[in-house]
Structure 1
Amino acid sequence: MNSPADTSTAAKSPSDAASSAPPPAHVVLYQPEIPQNTGNIGRTCVALGIKLWIVEPASFSFDEKRLRRAGLDYWQHLDIEMVPDWTSLTEKLDPQRFYFLSKFAKRTLWDCPLKLGDVFVFGRETSGLPRDILDPDDPRSLRLPTDPRVRSLNLATTTGIVVYEHQRQCFYAGKAT
């Protein structure tokens, strides 16, 4: 497997993802709990050629009807890899490329220059990332700015915002649309 830091052969546009080029980005779901969210995130990953990683255990079976329904018929095209634990993930991907998404992070997504091969790590729907993984003061910890009256955004919504901002910066920044 190519390292995410190796962007020399990375996809040059979202449509290149169907080729053998490394994915333009990686999405990591840490112990996901809601199959519909995972299905929707999987569909977004297919749309952009992004690889989806699942850090187990998940709170549901991957053959659940709710997961498949949310992913529709795109699930068969999804580049997905399951890993048994956090350590296994850090052995397969370069931790220096990780960005941790949390409402507690000090830095916003808008302040972060993103690059091909970045890895976006999302925590559980109910409790986020554990403290041994997330340091809110780490510059790689990012948040989406929201009104303080909103406790949190849906995981699939947040993931979509993050990966489309990644696409904008990597493929469309400075280009007329």
Structure 2
Amino acid sequence: MRIALNNPEIPQNTGGVLRLCACFGVPLDIIEPCGFQMTDAKLKRAGMDYIAKAHMTVHKDWDAFRAARPGRLVLATTKASVPIYDFAFQTGDILIFGSESSGAPDYVHAAADARIRIPMRPNIRSFNLAVSAGIILSEALRQTGGLPSSDVGV
């Protein structure tokens, strides 16, 4: 299981996803261009010391990402008809998220093997990127038996 962020724009969201990945032991792929520098102070503040505990790979573009990461792409999008709770996740899935302002471009939709959505009330645009990643990753790991076992909790 992996998370991939395609063209993220907000460093605080990416920092939050880095922290999420560190906590669950899931690798993160960041596909450039980004709306910030990877050295951005806001990214570091949101990711805190968890950045050092996360496994992150930065790819220069979509083609470099796909060359490095073949596998089943599961796109999180509000345009999907399949709710995450009705989808069968697999251990090798790459959960991909588009940019905060525009979502995933057409070429990502075309490459996706599946499209999923988080159920929510009507007339609400979307969840925050980091929140979406947390909800979907948690369900995917639950389904595949990949949740870390620990006596330490929130």
Question: Shared fold (TM-score greater than 0.5)?
Answer: yes
Mapped to 2, the partners of 1:172 and 1:118 lie a distance apart of 12
Aligned length: 146
Provide the residue aligned with 1:113 in structure 2: 88
TM-score (norm 2): 0.89
Residue from 113, 116, 127 that aligns with 2:102: 127
Deviation of 1:132 (Å): 2.1
Q: Which deviations, in whole Å up to 9, do the C-alpha atoms of 1:87-117 show, x marking residues without a partner?
A: 111111224x110110001111111111212
Equivalent pair of 2:27/2:55 in contact (CA under 8 Å): yes
Q: How does 1:14-33 map to 2 (within 5 A)?
A: 25-33=1-9
- SS of 2:107's equivalent in the other structure is coil
TM-score w.r.t. structure 1 length?
Answer: 0.78
Structure 1: unaligned runs, 5 residues or longer: 1-24
Q: State the 1:172 CA deviation.
A: 7.3
Over 3 Å off, 4+ runs: none
Give me the whole-angstrom Cα distance separating, in 1, the residues matched to 2:113 and 2:55.
Answer: 28
Corresponding position of 1:57: 33
- Mapping 1:56-75, distance limit 5 Å: 56-75=32-51
Task: Classify the secondary structure of the residue corresponding to 1:120.
Answer: strand
Determine the structure 2 residue equivalent to 1:90.
Answer: 66
Structure of larger gyration radius: 1
Structure 2: 5+ residue stretches without partners:
148-154
Secondary structure, counterpart of 1:133 in structure 2 = helix
Q: Please say which of residues 143-152 and 32-41 is displaced more in the overlay.
A: 143-152
Is 2:154 the counterpart of 1:156? no
Aligned to 2:151: none
Asked whether the equivalents of residues 4 and 97 of structure 2 are also in contact (C-alpha less than 8 Å), the reply is yes
Identity of aligned residues (%): 34
Match of 2:143 in 1: 169
Moved more, 75-84 or 163-172: 163-172
**Contact 2:73 / 2:113 at 8 angstroms: preserved in 1?**
no
CA RMSD of aligned residues (A): 1.6
